[in-house]
Amino acid sequence: MRITVRPIGVIRKYANGQELEVTRGLTSRQLIETLGGIPKKLKMVSYVNGKKKDLDDELEDGDEIKLVTMLTGG
């Protein structure tokens, strides 16, 4: 299946926006691991086709995934 990955913000330092051919059943969490080079300490959220999704939800053919870091501060 084919998906489009769009890293937002800090994540662009570690991953490029691209179209990928991936196996069925892949989750956003697994996608992040597959991209490699993204530090595990970065807390991320996934927006699939514009909607916030859990990192463990399975992706579907044609999905556009935006990976965004969660920022904290005070």
Q: What is the pTM of this model?
A: 0.86
Question: CA-to-CA distance for 73 and 52, rounded, in angstroms?
Answer: 21
**Whole-number Å distance between alpha carbons of 54 and 74:** 25
Give the pLDDT of residue 29. Answer: 93
Question: Does residue 74 lie in a domain region?
Answer: no
Residue with tokens 């990955």: 5
Q: Which amino acid is at 32?
A: I
Assess if residue 27 is contained within a domain. yes
Over residues 58-73, mean pLDDT? 88
With 80 as the cut, is the pLDDT of residue 72 above it?
A: no
pLDDT exceeds cutoff 80 at 27: yes
| Domain span holding position 40 | 2-69
**Domain count within the chain:** 1
